[in-house]
Amino acid sequence: MYHVALCDDEQAEVVKNQGMLSNYKKAHPELDFETGTFENAEQLLLKVQEGYAPDLILMDIYMEGKTGIEAARELHEMGSKSRVIFLTTSEKHAVEAFRVDAAQYLVKPVSEAEMFPLLEKQFEILNEVRRKYVVLQVNNRTFRVMVHDIVYCEAQGKRQYLHLTDGTQLCIHMSMTGLEELFLPYDEIVRIGKGYIINIDHVEGLDSHAVQLDNGLKLFLPRGAYQSLRKQYITYYTGVLS
């Protein structure tokens, strides 16, 4: 299931967008998503801080309190990977919107003829992300593990313990180097020293001493690991080498 958030302080716009999403869902019964509504940016940000992770956000820019641009910037700083579509009454913030990694920018009033192809594109991208997985042998059983569900892996002797977003821990009988090679196709999976592999998607922040993960855990960095990890982190999110 996917989660779609609507954030707009005009109730009429929320109702209209809910209607469009409902009609899109009827036209695509194979697509499973639920919609949450938020009256302002602060309400949405608080929910995200509590663990809500929408896949797609349809958000106004002009709102009481924080603007949509400010909210998108804070979401990015929190490590959120939500795809943000701005729906607003003016074109003048388009450049600024894309600076905060907006997936799209539409000027109101937005019609189904505009919205439906955009939704189709966004769900295609989300589906592609969810199709990324690795196959692992755990206690003589074969598991298909989605890459996005991997938070980190830690080495304990000759065993590797893979920690997933739902709290599951998988014990894998292979070397850390072998596991690292398995993850080579995925830029979000990086190795830290001899003891850890982490998923950058689940990193909330880092400094010269430690990495803060979105499950509340802090991993302390081995000496000399920070600069390399920082470069990988920035490159992953911006595409620009630091």
pLDDT score at 242:
43
Strand bridging mode 218-220 / 210-213: antiparallel
What are 34-93's pLDDT values in tens digits?
999 999 999 999 999 887 889 999 999 989 899 998 999 899 888 787 899 988 876 765
Query: Per the structure block, which two tokens stand in for 190?
Result: 């990086």
Mean pLDDT in residue range 158-182: 90
Question: What share of residues in the chain are helix, strand, coil (percent, to 5)?
Answer: 35, 30, 35
pLDDT per position as a tens digit, 192-232: 988 999 999 898 888 999 999 988 899 999 888 999 999 88
Going by the DSSP 8-state scheme, the letter that residue 187 receives in this structure is T
pLDDT band at 141 (very low <50, low <70, confident <90, very high): confident
89: phi then psi, degrees, rounded to nearest 5: -95, -5
Q: What's the DSSP call for residue 242?
A: -
Least confident residue range of 13-22, 70-79, 90-99, 116-125: 90-99
What is the Cα–Cα distance from 35 to 42, expressed in whole angstroms?
A: 18
Q: Are 74 and 43 in contact (CB under 8 A)?
A: no
Helix residue ranges per DSSP H, 28-93: 41-49, 68-77
